[in-house]
Amino acid sequence: MNQAIIPIATAVDFAQQHRKKPKGRQADPDRVSEVLAILGHEKLRLDLLIEYLHQLQDHLGCLPKAHLAALAECLNLSQTEVFEVATFYHHFDVVNAPNTLNHALTVRVCNGPSCCMAGAEALIEKLPALLGSTVRVQAVPCIGRCEQAPAAAVGQHEMGWANHHAIMEAAFGQHTKALPPPHTGRAQYEATGGYQLLHACVSGSRSVASVIETLSNSGLRGLGGAGFPAGKKWAIVREQTSPRLMAVNIDEGEPGTFKDRSYLERNPHQFLEGMLIAGWAVEACAIYIYLRDEYHACRAMLQAELALLKANPPMPDMPTIELRRGAGAYICGEESAMLESIEGKRGLPRLRPPYVAQVGLFNTPTLVHNFETLYWVPAILEQGASWFSEQGRHGRSGLRSFSVSGRVNKPGVHVAPAGITLNELIAEYCGGMQAGHILYGYLPGGASGGILPATLADVPLDFDTLQPHGCFIGSAAIVVFSQADSAVHMARNLMRFFVHESCGQCTPCRAGTAKALALINQPQWDVPLLKELSTVMRNASICGLGQAAPNPVDCVIRYFPHELEAKARGSTS
C-alpha cells in the first residue's frame, strides 16, 4: 500500500497548526487568577519563588498541584522548576487537591536529642489519640527551642513544655499564630546610644580600615560554625569588584542551637546596627536576611522593625534589606545552599572554588555572616578590641554564646569565656546537673560536632581545641546527657537526622548517611565497614553535612566501646 511521505518540516508545521494547546499539564485559568490575587504583586520575580510558595500555603493551608501549575505559568517557568522547589523543602505540603488534605491543623513535635531526653517520643506517641484525626502530629527535627524541651509548634505557634497539656490547649483553641516577643525597640535602643557607631562610620569619624583593624585585633570569628576571622572576611569582600551584596544566615538549623533566636527575641537592633556597619564596610548595595521558618514570632517582629527602619533610615543611602523565609531545610545553613535558596531554588550546596566572597548571590561578590557575629560588632567597636580579646580561659580569647540543653538545671544561652570547659560551664553557669543525673557525655557542637565522654569534660571549648578529639565547637551547641541516656541511641538519633536532611546532591552523603543508619541500627555494629564508610563520606562529600555526618558514629566507636559491647552481648543473650 502506497503511503504519502510528509517531509519532516511539513509534519512539524502541520502538528503546530493543529495543536490547540501546548503539551503537558495545563494551568487552570481560574487558578491563575486566584494565584495572582493571593500574591498581589504587579510584577513577579523569579528569586521570590519560595516566598510565593509560602504565601500560597499560608492562604490555602497547602500547595495544590493546580496552583503550582498556575504559579509556574505566572512566572513563565516550567512546571518542573516549580515542583522541584516545592517538594525539596520539608514545610511545603504539596497535595493533589485541597480536599485531599485530611487534617485541619499540624502539630510538629521535635524529636531532637534534648527533646527526646525530655520525653518527646512518648509525647509523639500519645498526641494523635488525644488530639483526634483532624490534627496531624509530625515528628520533626530540632525547632530551635532546646532549652524548653520537649518543644512543639502548633501551626505557627512555637512552644515548649514538659507535658502535653499546653500543646493540647493550643491545638484545641486554634492558637496557631505566634505573637512577636517582647524586645528592645528602636526608640529604647537609640536612647542608650544605639546607632551612634553607625553614624560615626557613615560620617567619616571612623574609617573602614580602622573598623576592620578593630575587628581583626579582637579575634572575632564567624560564629555560625566555620570560625573564619570576621575582619579578614570583610577585607576580602571589599577587594572584589562592585556591585557587592550581603547575606545574613539566621537559619540556625543545627540541633541543639538556639542562641540566634534568643538574642533576636531580646535585642534585634544591636544585630541590625552590626549588619548595617558590615554592609557599609563592604559597600553592599543590598542585604538579604535568611530566617528559618520555625521562627514565626521573630519574623513578625523583624518585619515590623525593618519597616520602621525603611521609613526612617538611620543612615543615608541605606542598602535595600530583604527578609527571606526558609522552608525547613537544614542544608540551607550551609552558606552556598542558603544563597541558592535566596535565589528561589533548591538549597543545593555549590562546588568551590569560586567562593561566595568572589561569586556569591546572583553571581555577585557576597559577604555572608551568621547572626551572632554581627550582633557582637557594635559592642566590640564601642568597647575596643582588647575588651573582647582579653576575655577567655585556658589560653583562649574572646567570648562564646553557648546554647546549653539536656540534663542540666539551667538550660539556656550562657555567655562565657572562650576556652571554658564543660565541667566549669555546668558548675558556674548551668546550676549543675539535674538531681539524680551524673555526667556521662556531651555534644560540644550540635549534631555534627561529635560526641565526647565525661572523661573529656575538661577540654577547653573553643575553635581548634576539639579537633584532636575528633570533634569541633561549631555553633557552640552543648547537649549534656547522663547515665540515664545512651551514646548509641544519641548516634542513631543524629544519623536519622542527617538521613532526613541530606539534600541528595552527592552520592557519598545521600547513600552514606542511609547506609550508616542501617548499620548502626543493628544490635552489633560492623566497625570496620563503618570506618571505611566514614572515610569515603569525609573525603568525597560536597559539603560539611556529609563530611561531618560520621562524627557521632566515629565518636561512639572511639569513646563508648563498652556500650557497644554491652548492647551486643544483650542482643545475643
Same domain assignment for residues 455 and 376? no
Say how many CA atoms lie within 13 Å of 180 toward its Cβ. 15
φ/ψ of 268, rounded to 5, equals: -65, -30
Residue-wise pLDDT tens digits, 288-334:
999 999 999 999 999 999 999 999 999 999 999 999 999 999 999 99
CA–CA separation, 300 vs 177, rounded Å? 10
Same domain assignment for residues 424 and 558? no
Domain annotation covers residue 220: yes
Grid coordinates standing for 44?
513577579
98: preceding bond cis by omega (within 30 degrees):
no
Query: So what's the pLDDT on residue 388?
Result: 97
Residue-wise pLDDT tens digits, 341-386:
999 999 999 999 999 999 999 999 999 999 999 999 999 999 999 9
Mean pLDDT of the chain, nearest integer:
92
195 contacts 273 by C-beta, under 8 angstroms: yes
For residue 3, pLDDT over 70 is answered with no
Same domain assignment for residues 51 and 133? no
Q: What is the dihedral of CA 260, 262, 264, 269, to 10 degrees?
A: -110
292 contacts 224 by C-beta, under 8 angstroms: no
- Looking at per-residue pLDDT, the higher value among 9 and 213 belongs to 213
Q: If pLDDT is split at 50, 70 and 90, which confidence band does 148 have?
A: very high
User: 3-class SS at 47?
Assistant: helix
Q: Which amino acid is it at 471? A: C
For residue 10, pLDDT over 80 is answered with no
Mean pLDDT of all residues in 472-496: 97
Grid coordinates standing for 196?
551612634
The number of beta carbons lying within 10 Å of the beta carbon of residue 526 is: 12
Query: So what's the pLDDT on residue 226?
Result: 84
CA–CA separation, 109 vs 466, rounded Å? 32
Q: If pLDDT is split at 50, 70 and 90, which confidence band does 16 have?
A: very low
Q: Of 460, 485, 510, which residue constitutes the final position of a domain?
A: 485
SS (H, E, C) 320-371: EEEEEECCCCHHHHCHHHHHHHHCCCCCCCCCCCCCCCCCCHHHCCEEEEEH
Same domain assignment for residues 434 and 535? no
Domain annotation covers residue 22: no
Q: Of 60, 84, 100, which residue constitutes the final position of a domain?
A: 100
For residue 166, pLDDT over 80 is answered with no
Query: Across the strands, what pairs with 139?
Result: 109
Q: If pLDDT is split at 50, 70 and 90, which confidence band does 2 have?
A: very low
For residue 22, pLDDT over 60 is answered with no
For residue 21, pLDDT over 80 is answered with no
Lowest mean pLDDT among 11-25, 209-223, 310-324: 11-25
The number of beta carbons lying within 10 Å of the beta carbon of residue 392 is: 20
Show the domain range for 162. 105-172
- The whole-model pTM stands at 0.93
Query: So what's the pLDDT on residue 15?
Result: 43
569 burial via Cβ count (<10 Å: 0-12, 13-18, 19+): exposed
Same domain assignment for residues 454 and 519? no
Mean pLDDT of all residues in 239-243: 97
Query: So what's the pLDDT on residue 99?
Result: 75
Angle ∠(251,253,254) on CA atoms, nearest 5: 135
Q: If pLDDT is split at 50, 70 and 90, which confidence band does 163 have?
A: low
Query: So what's the pLDDT on residue 157?
Result: 85
SS (H, E, C) 244-300: EEEEEEECCCCCCCCHHHHHHHHCHHHHHHHHHHHHHHHCEEEEEEEECCCCHHHHH
Same domain assignment for residues 248 and 161? no
Domain annotation covers residue 121: yes
495 contacts 513 by C-beta, under 8 angstroms: yes
Position of cell 560615626?
A: 200
Query: So what's the pLDDT on residue 404?
Result: 98
Same domain assignment for residues 219 and 255? yes
Domain annotation covers residue 178: no
Q: What is the dihedral of CA 462, 464, 465, 470, to 10 degrees?
A: 120
- Looking at per-residue pLDDT, the higher value among 406 and 9 belongs to 406
CA–CA separation, 452 vs 454, rounded Å? 7
Residue-wise pLDDT tens digits, 384-421:
999 999 999 999 999 999 999 999 999 999 999 999 99
Same domain assignment for residues 248 and 216? yes
- Looking at per-residue pLDDT, the higher value among 99 and 505 belongs to 505
Q: In what order do the strands lie in the sheet with 366-370?
A: 320-325, 284-291, 244-250, 366-370
The number of beta carbons lying within 10 Å of the beta carbon of residue 58 is: 10
Query: So what's the pLDDT on residue 569?
Result: 78
Query: So what's the pLDDT on residue 174?
Result: 65
Q: What is the separation of C-alpha 535 from the centre of its chain, rounded to a whole number of angstroms?
A: 26
Query: Across the strands, what pairs with 64?
Result: 95
207: domain CATH number? Answer: 3.40.50.11540
Split into its structural domains, the chain has a count of 5
Domain annotation covers residue 10: no
Domain annotation covers residue 390: no
φ/ψ of 318, rounded to 5, equals: -65, 135
Query: So what's the pLDDT on residue 415?
Result: 98
Distances (CA, A) of 231 to 248, 383, 471: 16, 16, 26
The number of beta carbons lying within 10 Å of the beta carbon of residue 561 is: 12
SS (H, E, C) 113-177: HHHHHCCHHHHHHHHHHHHCCCEEEEEECCCCCHHHCCEEEECCEEEECCCCHHHHHHHHCCCCC
Mean pLDDT of all residues in 495-508: 97
For residue 551, pLDDT over 50 is answered with yes
422: domain CATH number? Answer: 3.10.20.600
Query: So what's the pLDDT on residue 5?
Result: 42
First-to-last alpha carbon distance for the chain, in angstroms, is: 80
For residue 470, pLDDT over 70 is answered with yes
Domain annotation covers residue 272: yes
For residue 12, pLDDT over 90 is answered with no
Q: In what order do the strands lie in the sheet with 399-406?
A: 412-417, 399-406, 477-482, 439-443, 452-453
Same domain assignment for residues 416 and 323? no
Query: So what's the pLDDT on residue 23?
Result: 59
H helix and E strand count, the chain: 25, 15
Same domain assignment for residues 416 and 452? yes
Domain annotation covers residue 309: yes
For residue 491, pLDDT over 50 is answered with yes
Mean pLDDT of all residues in 75-95: 96
133: domain CATH number? Answer: 3.40.30.10
193 contacts 378 by C-beta, under 8 angstroms: no
Query: So what's the pLDDT on residue 6?
Result: 38
Q: Of 428, 460, 485, which residue constitutes the final position of a domain?
A: 485
Query: So what's the pLDDT on residue 7?
Result: 44
